[in-house]
Structure 1
Amino acid sequence: MVEDPNSLLASRAESLRPPAAALDQLTGEELSLPVLGTALPAILEAARLQHCRTAQALSVRAPSLDAYARAACVWGDGGYHRHSEEHGAVAEALLRSSAEDPTVMSGLVDTLAVSPAALSHLLHGLKISATYRPELAKALGAVWPHIMESVLTRPLPTQEVDRYRHQERLMEELVPNPTPSGADLHVDNTLARARRTWLPLDPLRDLIDSWTTSAGTNGFAIDNLIEFLKTQPIHEQIEPGMRWVRQLCVSGNGAVDSAGYLLAEWLHNLRSEVTGSARPHYRAVIDGLALAQHPSASALQRLDE
């Protein structure tokens, strides 16, 4: 338990301030995010379970979450190099806690929403956790609508504020696709297993529709959308999926600005399933690939000759 808040100081701050009596006296600049990332999961688990020190854990949970948010915002906005997977233990503990108390997650998300970098790292960690822990997918589905609404309804940062393009990264992460670890040697098996228990589409339908018109045209956004769609039944991949893909990746001049890595194969695999109502979207995407001179465009066009 965090009995001495000074144990969470970053090394650079240890000699620069008098000892603090409480966590709320420490700024994000003074706190060590790696140390908090180790302490917070233990606190969340201790507060979630019933035992002789549950009350003590609950008393420090909110201050610890606030401290973590302050530190994460500083580390993210400062461009410090920290892999999203290093948030994995925190993400898993948050999902377990939010299954019993959704305000644990929603409160942290709302606090981190001022920092696109910090929130994008957390979202990536949440998706990785649910990918490898099928029992957490339900908790992820319960909190994701709030996450999307919180981000989509906030004003966009100015270019001067978002000099590291963190908002672009956040928008990419905003679609809840299963996400394997970068160290996974069996990605296909991991994704196939995750798809069997992944989030349903209906609670996210309107939010994803809105996201496709504001996420930009970065290739990772389209890949993340397709990975999410591949967790859904074929008929939902076709509609609304095909329309969402068109909205996301076909620009005003009709060309696909960024096809990512998955688009061409996904279109090829779904060709025989495309319905009459979805065919205009399907054709618009293929024609957009041709306008962009994508190497797979001509093969896809020949399939319909």
Structure 2
Amino acid sequence: MNRTVYVNGYYVKEDQAKVSIFDRGFLFADAVYEVTAVLEGKLIDNAGHVARLERSCKELGIKMPVTAEELTKIQKHLIKINNLTEGGVYLQLTRGSEGDRDFAYSEDIQPTLVMFTQQRDLINSAPAQKGIKVLSMDDIRWRRRDIKTTSLLPACLAKHIAHQAGCDDVWLIEDGYVTEGGSSNAYIVTNDNKIVTRPLSNDILHGITRSSLLQLARDCNLEIEERPFTIDEAYQAKEAFVSSATTFIWPVVSIDGHSIGCGQPGEVASKLRDIYIKTAIELGE
């Protein structure tokens, strides 16, 4: 597949796409990103992703080279010319390049914006049907996880260790409490059917899917507790699950070898996933 991708104002074939080796995104991971799901050719929760991108840029002082409206037009054009029905649009915005490697940068540096589509089976994915196994380990990331940067090496290494241990993903632990998954927000369901997830702060990513899910849960009269929970509490939970832009909800059936509930995807996670997908398609743009 030779996709058409977007690089700094141009639509080019992926094998023709180029970015400077001196780009700060390459040299320093001085960049932010977003991934928006696509279902039936529609962008899902895209307004939230664009708003979060703008927030990330503001926090780091990275310029937005196009408006939110122009950004969405580019995404939609990529979906159209690549005939994407289901998958996602990846967007990366770096601080840019000034000609050589230097920790310092000027205020007038021009950013680099790239985007590309990815075809994925999101609705009928095996992890959604079977559930996933996770491994817990210490959270060694920086303390501004609310900014969606490309500094993902700790998460990559943690996921690799989990895969080597026969697990599908990782839950990260700090001061005895679960922060989030390797690339997702984390939840448990207590025995009295309360959904528990860590409150928003600099310690976790402010998930766009998380926000939509919690609103849907409230609409279904499910009780939400936004508070930290320990890994021991997770072992004893009735259910556990994760959410992200391209997983929607994946049930967690095992943590550190402990079966969660009956060791199968739970009722709450399965119900929320179905409702989310139906609503997302209806509201997609």
Larger Rg: 1
**Greater helix share, structure number:** 1
TM over 0.5: no
What TM-score do you get using the length of structure 2 for normalisation? Answer: 0.26
**Greater strand share, structure number:** 2
